[in-house]
Amino acid sequence: MSAAEQGRGPAGSTYAELQVTTHFSFLRGASSCEELFSRAAALGIPALGIVDRHSLAGIVRAHEAARQTGVRLVIGSRLDLTDGTALLLYPMDRAGYGRLCRLLTLGKSRAGKGACDLAWEDVADWAEGLLAILVPDEPDDRCARQLARLRHTFPGRCYVALTLRRRPGDVLRLHLLSELAAAHRVPTVMTNDVLYHAPERRIMQDIVTCIRKGCTIDSAGFRRERYADRFLQPPSEIARLFARHPEAVARTLEVVERCKFRLDELQYQYPEEVVIPGLTAQQSLEQLTWSAVADRYPDGVPEKVQAVLRHELRLIDQLGYAPYFLTVHSIVRFARSRGILCQGRGSAANSAVCYVLGITSIDPERHNLLFERFVSAERREPPDIDVDFEHDRREIVIQWIYETYGRHRAALTAVVTRYRARGAVRDVGKVLGLTEDVTAALAGQIWAWSDEGVEEQHAKELSLNLEDRRLRLTLELAQQLMGTPRHLSQHPGGFVLTQHRLDELVPIEPAAMEDRQVIEWDKDDIDLLRIMKVDILALGRHCHINRGAGELLLHWA
């Protein structure tokens, strides 16, 4: 008998877990998407609803984990409103997903980086196409008001969650909630409010909670989760725990069926960039390229170069990448119109088109270049042109991009900052009450970017007592914490641009730097979804070159 068959309850019953928090909740959940979906597959759970708080940062990884395991992903997000109401929102279709992204973007724009500020009125404005589950506290008058508002805002698309809290009176609490929900004609649905994939991850969940709250494990008190089974349960156990509410368990699958949106439906469309009136993007690129050839080869264009250009333009046309090349060309042209030094580098140096348009400086006549290292019909990977600008004046270029495309169509990609060895040792040691000199000494034993973690030999070299339970736990848990997302920061200069609204593709939040904004997905995420980005990078050397050239002109003058 398979693990999935063993997990099924009476008469082959099963359920979907609709309230799962991943470690992309940033120090709230304690398991990765890969761990959660693998565990679900082993238990025979057919679908997981990922609802990280105020975020869709983890859904690309969840989408990939779902594809690998065959467990269905239900995309969602948990919102904690300004009045304390907790809602789980799930898009039912592509339009609903766009509204959820817009709603999260609105809340983040108000609250600033890493926060979200939304009220019931905001949810009501963007409720169409969304299914909502109320996560109640107690079956009281406040809950009754929430249910009435929920039913008004999401007519025919709302539920109330029944979740065990492992506290006295749990059975009575769920009964009263069911009665109250029935009185307001809102159906109930079971959730287990999962924070980690398996029971052994409980202690790590305590650790990340303490890091988030800034306290030690000894002083955490009720800031820790009060019950220890917030992991994925086999269907047979869920059937036993909710034996009085089988209809709530059955409705979990009903919600899955109603929420049909999948991430595969996202159709990324790059800006059209038709720069020459009456011509398509491809025709514009070809005209610009052949017009610029004479500037690069004033003595005549070698036949080899002509052949390479024709080959590249054919492949660009086949893959539909002409708008991307036009974007980079327009950015470089703007920078040079302001006297800002810039230079393309990386794999784009293999492109004769980039050389002719002045994006790079590698002459294909003098070098044996292979365009397929940059763009390949077989790989079908989006082109990635890195352009270095003067460090001191790059912000002029960045703000021009925002002004040209609009802040609803342009944003920097994120960088997921993850725990490495030193940071993991310091934070875990602090939570477990080790003194700062001990954690600093342990962290100092390893290279800053090490992926190996602190080992017992490091502790022995410092003459530390390995029999001490907290020290051993620190070494073990720091190893587990490595690779866990810590927070989102901004990419050095990777821009995502869209033809239509970017904030209907992914939520956007303000960056730490003024007048910048960042999407919730990082480079690996947009690569998986084949979304193109333009890298606007900085190079201090360009500043020195430009400054030196200016000083030289003044000297000769």
Tell me the pLDDT band of 227, cut-offs 50, 70 and 90.
confident
Q: What percent of the chain has a predicted confidence (pLDDT) above 90?
A: 66
| Calpha distance 120→139 (Å, rounded) | 20
What are the tens digits of pLDDT across the range 361-407? 878 667 666 776 777 767 777 788 889 999 889 999 999 999 999 99
Query: For position 455, what pLDDT does the model report?
Result: 65
Query: What's domain 15-201+228-265's architecture?
Result: Alpha-Beta Barrel (3.20)
- For domain 420-482, the CATH class is mainly alpha
Q: What's the whole-number mean pLDDT along residues 35-55?
A: 97
What are the tens digits of pLDDT across the range 242-295? 999 999 999 999 999 999 999 999 988 888 887 888 999 999 999 999 999 988
Query: For position 452, what pLDDT does the model report?
Result: 62
Tell me the pLDDT band of 8, cut-offs 50, 70 and 90.
very low
What are the tens digits of pLDDT across the range 523-544? 899 988 888 888 999 875 555 4
What are the tens digits of pLDDT across the range 48-64? 999 999 999 999 999 99
| Calpha distance 262→429 (Å, rounded) | 41
What are the tens digits of pLDDT across the range 402-455? 999 999 999 999 999 999 888 999 999 999 999 998 888 888 777 654 556 666
Alpha helix positions (H), 320-468: 322-337, 352-356, 394-405, 421-431, 436-443, 456-461
| Calpha distance 530→521 (Å, rounded) | 12
Q: Residue 458 pLDDT more than 70?
A: no
- Where do you find CATH 3.20.20.140 in the chain? 15-201+228-265
Q: Residue 131 pLDDT more than 80?
A: yes
Tell me the residue type at 24: F
Query: For position 557, what pLDDT does the model report?
Result: 40
How many CB atoms within 10 Å of residue 70?
10
> What is the token pair recorded at 16?
């979907």
The rounded mean pLDDT for the chain is 89
Q: What's the whole-number mean pLDDT along residues 124-146?
A: 96
Q: What percent of the chain has a predicted confidence (pLDDT) above 70?
A: 90
- Going by C-alpha positions, the residue among 56, 38, 7, 3 that lies closest to residue 196 is 38
Query: For position 4, what pLDDT does the model report?
Result: 40
How many CB atoms within 10 Å of residue 140?
12
- Where do you find CATH 1.10.10 in the chain? 420-482
What are the tens digits of pLDDT across the range 170-220? 999 999 999 999 999 999 999 999 999 999 999 999 999 999 999 999 999
